[in-house]
């Protein structure tokens, strides 16, 4: 389905290299805003190269328009790294994730209950730092997504090249 998703990268509990590989096999375009590295949700850095980069909302809109003009039926992930001043400490979050995953496993939490449980426990373990980062990244993603929508609307209103 042709859709563009603006997000802060893959969930930190996922295997990011495997996630990127899977998206590639499904024909999903993955591009990162202002970075050659795919973000790791709470952190702008995952250690994984981004398959594509865009440096402005206008460039993201051009990617979306090109995909549409080509008739591609796959989605697109537009990854927006969390600003460094709002990121959570990566090592602290990783430790919290490990502890929360072990606890979820011990309590036999499964299915759609896992993510809410993990987010709550990670927030508790990090003393709210992960929650604060999550709030900032949601607002930042919404702002960037809005700018992309404005650029997309402007490009739709522009006359076609001759």
Q: How many CB atoms lie within 10 A of CB 20?
A: 23
Q: How many CB atoms lie within 10 A of CB 140?
A: 18
Sheet holding 53-54, edge to edge: 4-7, 76-79, 29-33, 53-54
Token digits for 3?
């859709």
Q: What is the pTM of this model?
A: 0.86
CA separation for the pair 93, 128 (Å, rounded): 11
pLDDT of residue 123: 93
Mean pLDDT of the chain: 91
Stretches where the chain sits below pLDDT 70 are: 158-162
CA separation for the pair 33, 6 (Å, rounded): 10
**Mind listing the pLDDT tens digit for each residue in 85-104?**
888 877 888 899 899 999 99
pLDDT of residue 91: 80
CATH of 4-157, one of 3.40.1790.10, 3.40.50.300, 3.90.1260.10, 2.40.30.20: 3.40.1790.10
pLDDT of residue 14: 79
Question: Could you tell me whether strands 53-54 and 29-33 are parallel, antiparallel, or unpaired per DSSP bridges?
Answer: parallel
pLDDT of residue 161: 58
Kindly compute the dihedral angle of the four CA atoms of residues 137, 6, 56, 140, in this order, to the nearest 10 degrees.
-20
Residue with tokens 């990127």: 20
pLDDT of residue 153: 93
pLDDT of residue 2: 85
Residue with tokens 């190269």: 49
Residue in 20, 5, 153 with CA at minimum distance from that of residue 75: 5
Question: Domain locations in the chain?
Answer: 4-157
pLDDT of residue 158: 65
pLDDT of residue 88: 81
CA separation for the pair 79, 38 (Å, rounded): 7
pLDDT of residue 160: 60
- Residue 103 near residue 31, CB atoms below 8 Å: no
């Amino acid at each position: 389905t042709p859709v563009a998703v603006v997000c802060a990268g893959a969930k930190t509990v996922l295997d990011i290299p495997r996630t990127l590989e899977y998206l590639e096999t499904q024909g999903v375009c993955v591009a990162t805003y202002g970075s050659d590295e795919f973000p790791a949700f709470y952190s702008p850095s995952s250690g994984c190269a981004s398959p594509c980069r865009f440096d402005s909302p206008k460039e993201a809109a051009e990617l979306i328009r090109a995909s549409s003009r080509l008739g591609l039926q796959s989605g697109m992930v537009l990854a927006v790294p969390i600003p460094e001043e709002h990121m959570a400490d990566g090592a602290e979050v990783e430790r919290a994730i490990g502890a929360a995953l072990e606890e979820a496993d011990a309590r036999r939490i499964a299915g759609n209950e896992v993510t809410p449980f993990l987010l709550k426990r990670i927030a508790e373990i990090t003393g709210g730092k992960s929650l604060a980062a999550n709030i900032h990244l949601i607002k930042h993603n919404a702002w960037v997504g809005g700018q992309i929508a404005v650029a997309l609307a402007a490009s739709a209103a522009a006359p076609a090249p001759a």
